[in-house]
């Protein structure tokens, strides 16, 4: 009887270990996909390409820039980024501080650093922000559901 109990415990421990390893691999895969999304977003910002930004958002996504109204849905998001890109040219890099995945939702906290060229006067200024992304998995793809940023200085 004791041997059966010990064998049963060993099998349970092995199964828990397998499940834990599988969960870790799935989390790693999801985090990699989220990082890829954020770096695609960075590239779209740095090239001022609205057509690369839009597919990264969910259909009902919300963009909440500092000192500007929120843009809700694809049409408003498009207009907001068109305005932003007409005013400035970004050259930034994202630094990921935290990624939390929970099912089909995730949040990512980042900071960014770089420069901004202001089209109106040709001046280049330092750019440093902190960002919060709420992401949603839609049809197997991670998308930006909500995005907010503010200046650190």
The residues of the chain scoring below 50 in pLDDT are 2
| pLDDT number for residue 95 | 96
| pLDDT number for residue 19 | 59
Within 13 Å, how many C-alpha atoms sit on residue 31's CB side? Answer: 12
Alpha-carbon distance of 46 to 84, in angstroms, equals 12
In which residue are the tokens 């000192």 written? 67
Beta bridge mates, 137:
142
Smallest Cα–Cα separation from 31: which of 111, 108, 139?
Answer: 108
Instruction: Indicate whether this model's pTM tops 0.75.
Output: yes
Alpha-carbon distance of 137 to 153, in angstroms, equals 33
Domains of the chain, CATH where assigned: 2-151 (3.10.450.50)
| pLDDT number for residue 136 | 98
Q: 39-42 — which CB contacts under 8 Å span 24+ positions?
A: 39/94, 41/94, 41/144, 42/92, 42/93, 42/94, 42/112
| pLDDT number for residue 12 | 58
Smallest Cα–Cα separation from 136: which of 106, 110, 108, 109?
Answer: 106
Alpha-carbon distance of 102 to 26, in angstroms, equals 11
* 3-class DSSP state of 142: strand
């Amino acid at each position: 009887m004791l041997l059966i109990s010990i064998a049963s415990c060993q099998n349970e421990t092995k199964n828990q270990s397998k499940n834990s390893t599988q969960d870790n691999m799935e989390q790693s895969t999801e985090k990699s996909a989220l990082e890829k999304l954020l770096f695609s977003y960075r590239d779209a910002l740095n090239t001022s390409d609205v057509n690369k930004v839009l597919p990264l958002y969910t259909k009902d996504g919300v963009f909440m820039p500092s000192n500007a109204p929120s843009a809700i849905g694809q049409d408003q998001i498009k207009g907001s980024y068109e305005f932003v890109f007409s005013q400035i040219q970004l050259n930034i890099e994202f630094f990921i501080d935290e990624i939390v995945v929970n099912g089909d939702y995730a949040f990512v906290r980042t900071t960014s650093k770089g420069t901004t060229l202001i089209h109106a006067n040709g001046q280049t200024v330092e750019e440093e922000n902190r960002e919060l992304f709420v992401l949603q998995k839609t049809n197997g793809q991670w998308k930006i559901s909500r995005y907010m940023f503010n200046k650190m200085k």
